């Protein structure tokens, strides 16, 4: 694949080289933490951070634990970034999401809002990469391996020019959409094969199919 012409080194072990013309700054240069409580239950759109992203939650049948009083939740706005950086030893839970619409989420989450003209979806992908590579896990402190809002704001991130941020997002969205479509197709094929397997076993052991004279290949494979 095509590479940039020149690179520069960084002081982060997980980010050795970046394009020379990209910025490299602490998160707090671009983002600020926000904490706005859901006073008087003014916002009723409940959101949840899941492995599938930030999704709407059902007050009657909520995903996961739910509070007795949603006034303890905090308000998030569209295009905010949300982080769950507690119990980092648990690598099977979601850690970062891009908020698709105004709503409320747990006060245990960290909310970052852009301070300037940036493509927050690009930075979502950058933080998502840190989660995939389990970088957050190595930065946590304490018995419960936690990162505070201040810790997050002091992590250095790379900053391409705005037009490159937009192009990177378009490229990733296109490629990821194609990959997800391929995954869905494979999952459907796997589902069909599992159903075929179950039906085959049932039909043979119950005598619906006579296999007495069936040829059995030396190296079985799907035909």
Instruction: Indicate the number of domains in the chain.
Output: 2
Say if residue 91's pLDDT is above 80.
no
Say if residue 18's pLDDT is above 70.
yes
Measuring CA to CA, which residue among 8, 12, 32 is closest to residue 22? Answer: 8
Are residue 155 and residue 193 in the same domain, yes or no?
no
Are residue 110 and residue 11 in the same domain, yes or no?
yes
What's residue 41's pLDDT? 84
Residue 140: CB atoms within 10 Å: 17
| Crossing angle of helices 162-205 and 120-132, rounded to 10° | 50
Are residue 74 and residue 123 in the same domain, yes or no?
yes
Q: Does residue 118 fall inside a structural domain?
A: yes
Measuring CA to CA, which residue among 58, 56, 65, 36 is closest to residue 97? Answer: 56
Radius of gyration from C-alpha coordinates of the chain: 24
Are residue 128 and residue 168 in the same domain, yes or no?
no
pLDDT tens-digit profile of 174-223? 999 999 999 999 999 999 999 999 999 999 999 999 998 888 887 766 55
User: What are the backbone angles phi and psi of residue 152, rounded to the nearest 5°?
Assistant: -60, -45
Q: Does residue 184 fall inside a structural domain?
A: yes
Q: Are 98 and 67 in contact (CB under 8 A)?
A: no
Q: Does residue 214 fall inside a structural domain?
A: no
Are residue 140 and residue 69 in the same domain, yes or no?
yes
The pLDDT-based confidence of 26 (bands split at 50, 70, 90) is very high
Q: Does residue 154 fall inside a structural domain?
A: yes
Are residue 104 and residue 190 in the same domain, yes or no?
no
- CATH, residue 24: 3.90.220.20
What's the predicted TM-score (pTM) here? 0.85
State how far the Cα of 131 lies from the Cα of 135, in Å rounded to an integer: 6
State how far the Cα of 114 lies from the Cα of 175, in Å rounded to an integer: 26
Q: Does residue 220 fall inside a structural domain?
A: no
**Enclosing domain of residue 148:** 5-159
pLDDT tens-digit profile of 111-140? 999 999 999 999 999 999 999 998 888 786
What's residue 222's pLDDT? 57
Q: What share of the chain is helix, strand, coil (3-state, %, to 5)?
A: 35, 25, 45
Task: Compare 32 and 2 and report the one with higher pLDDT.
Answer: 32
* Mean pLDDT across 80-109: 90
Q: Per the structure block, which two tokens stand in for 209?
A: 């199919």
DSSP 8-class letter at 71:
G
pLDDT tens-digit profile of 43-86? 889 999 998 899 998 776 666 666 767 888 999 999 999 999 98
Q: Does residue 56 fall inside a structural domain?
A: yes
Are residue 103 and residue 115 in the same domain, yes or no?
yes
Are residue 153 and residue 194 in the same domain, yes or no?
no
Are residue 125 and residue 42 in the same domain, yes or no?
yes
What's residue 63's pLDDT? 67
What's residue 64's pLDDT? 63
State how far the Cα of 110 lies from the Cα of 85, in Å rounded to an integer: 8
């Amino acid at each position: 694949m095509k590479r940039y012409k020149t690179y520069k080194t960084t002081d982060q072990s997980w980010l050795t080289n970046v394009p020379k013309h990209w910025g490299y700054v602490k998160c707090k240069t671009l983002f600020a933490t926000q904490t706005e409580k859901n006073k008087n239950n003014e916002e009723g759109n409940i959101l949840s951070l899941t492995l599938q992203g930030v999704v709407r939650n059902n007050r009657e049948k909520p995903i996961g634990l739910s509070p007795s009083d949603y006034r303890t939740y905090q308000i998030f706005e569209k295009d905010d970034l949300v982080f769950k950086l507690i119990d980092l030893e648990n690598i099977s839970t979601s850690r970062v999401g891009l908020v698709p619409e105004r709503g409320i989420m747990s006060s245990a989450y960290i909310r970052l809002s852009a301070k300037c003209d940036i493509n927050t979806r690009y930075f979502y992908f950058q933080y998502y990469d840190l989660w995939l590579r389990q970088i957050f896990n190595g930065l946590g402190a304490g018995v419960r391996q936690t990162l505070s809002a201040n810790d997050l704001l002091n992590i250095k991130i790379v900053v391409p020019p705005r037009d490159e941020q937009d192009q990177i997002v378009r490229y990733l969205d296109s490629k990821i959409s194609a990959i997800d479509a391929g995954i869905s197709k494979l999952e459907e094929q796997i589902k069909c094969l599992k159903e075929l397997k179950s039906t085959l076993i049932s039909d043979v052991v119950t005598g619906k199919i006579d296999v007495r004279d069936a040829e059995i290949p030396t190296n079985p494979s799907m035909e």
